[in-house]
Structure 1
């Protein structure tokens, strides 16, 4: 049974209330709440959120045992007003013990560029994070309320992460459960583009910086598809600013989830015992480096990974900071670099992955090791 309902929210409730009790009272949380309490959940004046939730609970008794409802509201005064009122009234009208309000930063239509570039991406990321935190078997998305593009993205994300979604038709008293669809996805493309897309996570890039970022993407078709996952904003003097689009964020969520579910399918083949080095090599015999390695044994643990044949330390700095990451160092030599550190020091290793077949397996190996480093 699914007990967590993730629900996109709009602001039609305020318009409905304005027509019933006047705009001034409709803008007051207390007045809006008092009016809403007088209505039955089937009354269309309640708005898409309550109508959709009521139909959903009634129509899906074998699927739902709702405990928590998470409301995703726009970054507007009206959106927050509706969210706070729903946060209060939903536990009164439904057998739900917890309602959580989430404001989606940037989801404000008065600022179209921010709405498109940040708001929709933030919605996708927050929905995906909550599904991951709660667990897919517990979640269902109600995508009845909100902007049309918001509803569409929520439904797409439901398919992306493998959970059902529900939509109530405005012209009907019934709704529709949309099961997750098996979506064909090129996980290899995600592996090849992942590092470049990660570089765009925190801030957009100008055209010249984007060109530099794309230099490692050798295949022209991959470059074209990479650009399809971005959106650009015109700047002065003909320059443009590039950022991950909402579609690009959906692609990342879907591909990342699919990769970790099938991680073993993308790993390089293991090396034979004859190919495996007996011990970690060190580029120098500095006492502090050897002491650091002896104490933590990171190199030895990396050498135990089945597809790694050699591990060589090539850098050490006494006193460091917490770090654990891996990236492709040299494609032609099939080498990865690992950086691992704490307050005692920072050490870097070169790992050889001789049987990696192409960019995809090198990137998959890098992701696998990055995840493994978190537990060391």
Structure 2
């Protein structure tokens, strides 16, 4: 079986806190080990290219290097990915996230990876839990799906070691939906573990019925009144949305699961629409029936006249 040549990595802040913060304290207390001095001094100066260079001098499995470097080293050692694979680092919408992503980019370019890209995930931050849940995780799913769509599922894998713990659940679900492996390394694990794709799938028929609502919710950043979809509502839609009470009324936003569900089938509809839709001109489906608009957003394609 071919190895994935593209690794999509979530990015956390363990490199800064506690790792580099502890080294800076040791430097101030004159207790720093010689091999860590260049790293601590570069961090103290805020010299991120210097930090990347100092990290390059350390073994990649040294815990000081942080979750992302440790886990990628384990993936290479276990031969899950090529040593020079392409890397996408999906980082939080925070200063620390941007700084660590910049360090990782310099580090892996210096190691000879031809493709290393950083992607800021809008609203993925820890200052506003509601925004993190309703928008940040959705944007994470959207960005992962975009990369997989551009590079192909067969070429991709996800490393969900870095970042917020909620990202692990989203990453595993993405792996199942897109048919790609997901990897994770806890700091106490001696090696990385894989969550291989399982023989389960989302229901395409549910997406066809709910697609109009899903397109509506994805296009807007504001909650939509739940009453808009009251007539066509089904219990299976509940996991696809977040209910938001406003002035005593229920409003809906797309949930992270809904975003994954929608991204998965929207792409399938693009590629398989000729097998999904009835023929353009077909007058003999049923006597006395006429064709209604079909495709995403339409729950009924034929209506009795």
In structure 2, what is the equivalent of residue 192 of structure 1? 209
Distance, in Å, in 2 between the alignment partners of 1:226 and 1:360 is 14
User: Any idea what SS the aligned residue of 2:130 has?
Assistant: helix
Preserved contact between residue 181 and residue 196 of structure 2 (Cα < 8 Å): yes
Preserved contact between residue 218 and residue 254 of structure 2 (Cα < 8 Å): yes
Q: CA deviation at 1:140?
A: 1.2
Long gaps (5+) in structure 1: 271-301, 311-331, 339-358, 364-376
Q: Which has the higher strand share?
A: 1
User: Any idea what SS the aligned residue of 1:72 has?
Assistant: strand
Structure number with the bigger relative contact order (C-alpha 8 A, sep ≥ 6) is 2
Long gaps (5+) in structure 2: 26-39
Alignment of structure 1 residues 127-206 onto 2, 5 Å: 127-203=144-220
In structure 2, what is the equivalent of residue 335 of structure 1? 292
Preserved contact between residue 52 and residue 107 of structure 2 (Cα < 8 Å): yes
Preserved contact between residue 29 and residue 85 of structure 1 (Cα < 8 Å): no
Preserved contact between residue 121 and residue 245 of structure 1 (Cα < 8 Å): yes
TM-score (norm 1): 0.66
In structure 2, what is the equivalent of residue 48 of structure 1? 67
TM-score (norm 2): 0.80
Larger radius of gyration: 1
Moved more, 36-45 or 66-75: 36-45
Preserved contact between residue 6 and residue 87 of structure 2 (Cα < 8 Å): yes
Task: Show structure 1 runs of 4+ deviating over 6 A.
Answer: none
Distance, in Å, in 1 between the alignment partners of 2:220 and 2:270 is 26
User: Any idea what SS the aligned residue of 1:336 has?
Assistant: coil
Q: CA deviation at 1:333?
A: 3.3
Distance, in Å, in 2 between the alignment partners of 1:173 and 1:95 is 26
| Alignment RMSD (CA, Å) | 2.9
Moved more, 17-26 or 107-116: 17-26
State the Cα deviation string for residues 349-368 of structure 1 (Å, max 9, x = none). Answer: xxxxxxxxxx76839xxxxx
State the Cα deviation string for residues 287-331 of structure 1 (Å, max 9, x = none). Answer: xxxxxxxxxxxxxxx54xxxx339xxxxxxxxxxxxxxxxxxxxx
Preserved contact between residue 93 and residue 122 of structure 2 (Cα < 8 Å): yes
The answer to whether the aligner puts 1:309 opposite 2:266 as a matched pair is no
Q: CA deviation at 1:116?
A: 1.0
